[in-house]
Amino acid sequence: MTGHPNEQARETFTFARWVWDITAARAIVAGRPHQLIAVGPLHSYLAIGLIRVDADHAMSTDLTQPLILAPLPGAGGNLPIDGWHRIYHALRKQVEYLPAVALTDAEGDQIRTQIPGWHPLARPAPAAAVPRPADQIRANTPSGRLPDGAVRDLVAAHLDSHPGQGFTIGELARVLGIAKAPVRDAVRHLVADHRAIRTATRHAVRYTSASGPATAL
């Protein structure tokens, strides 16, 4: 699941199985009043490569230009579809908030398409054929080990991309490809930092995202 801005004559943005027409989105929101969103919760998307940017270009971007947010189907929240270079820039300079404009559900549907060939009833590839997030990072690290902070970023990104859905330590460990002990330590820090919520029932202790993809103030 990798998001990336596509530099074409007509700009698009791809995330998971969705493609948004950024050129059309800009025309829709032109002149619309903006709100401020906190960029801190978006750090995890960049940290583990869910969204990729050109770092050099990012640092030359104009932080006064509003981001564009669009509803993320099935997630119950908004995702920036235009402005990830500005988000990277803001995070590097410790700017906490950026201006943003949000598309409505109807507007999002109007400019969003699904990647050809994907079908909701298609049989998924065998689990062994799909590298888990931690495995992908290890494969690209000379030492074969996860860098400092990577476990926390992986857990945070997984929770943020499944807003409202709770996960046990074991479930997080399995889906991410990480042992339970470091996952347990990561969620403890995320709860302490108010980035995750711990919910205990008679049957299990689960953790959910405290922020979701992006929330306008």
pLDDT in tens, 153-198: 888 888 887 777 889 999 998 888 889 999 999 999 999 999 899 9
Sheet holding 77-82, edge to edge: 35-38, 97-102, 67-72, 77-82
What is the pLDDT, as a whole number, of residue 216? Answer: 40
Residue 20 and residue 202 in contact, taking contact as beta carbons nearer than 8 Å = no
The answer to whether 147 and 154 have CB atoms below 8 angstroms apart is: no
Top pLDDT among 196 and 214 is at 196
User: Of the candidates 40, 111, 115, which has an alpha carbon nearest to the alpha carbon of residue 69?
Assistant: 111
Look at 43-52, 65-74, 93-102, 198-207 and tell me which has the smallest mean pLDDT.
Answer: 43-52
Domains along the chain with CATH numbers: 4-114 (3.90.1530), 127-209 (1.10.10.10)
- Classify the C-alpha dihedral 36-163-152-149 as positive or negative: negative
Query: Contact 70/79 with Cβ under 8 angstroms?
Result: yes
Pairing of strands 196-200, 18-21: unpaired
pTM for the model stands at 0.57
Residue-wise pLDDT for 59-84, tens only, equals 999 999 999 999 888 666 789 999 99
